[in-house]
Amino acid sequence: MKTRAELLKSKGYWLAKIQTELFREIDGFKRKNGMNNTQLAEYLGCSKGYISQLLNGDFDHKLSKLIELSLAIGKVPCIEYMDMESYMVRDDIMYKATFKTSVYAIPQKNGYSSYMDKDIQEDKILLSA
């Protein structure tokens, strides 16, 4: 099994990450606008089969197509380049926080007060009921 650090250095990880982010954006746009695959294909100017590939994650776009699709749904593709070591440190912190965070909800008169573990965040978060 690969370590997280080895995974972050692989081409496959980054391809899957970008494909997943594009899928989320396209699917969100489709749902927000109440479109089916045919309507989405017409809107984006591509075939219904291409939309199926896109939504099934079975695609490998050119950068120009990624930009075209992003702009068509009102999104800007932001590609950030950073030092691998810096990214791995940031990713490790975020990855651990995802699994380490505990939230405690305490009923109040006007909603709920939630408290996260002190090593993640010490501030009180108020949630409306």
Total structural domains in the chain? 2
Residues 88 and 51 in one domain: no
| Mean pLDDT within 92-120 | 58
Residues 32 and 88 in one domain: no
Q: How far apart are CA 54 and CA 26, in angstroms?
A: 8
| Mean pLDDT within 13-29 | 89
Q: What pLDDT shows up at residue 16? A: 86
Residues 45 and 8 in one domain: yes
108 in a domain, yes or no? yes
Q: What pLDDT shows up at residue 127? A: 41
Q: Domain containing 92: what range? A: 84-127
pTM listed for this prediction: 0.62
Q: Which of 98, 124, 95, 129 is closest to 112 using CA atoms?
A: 129
Residues 89 and 62 in one domain: no
| Mean pLDDT within 71-85 | 88
42 in a domain, yes or no? yes
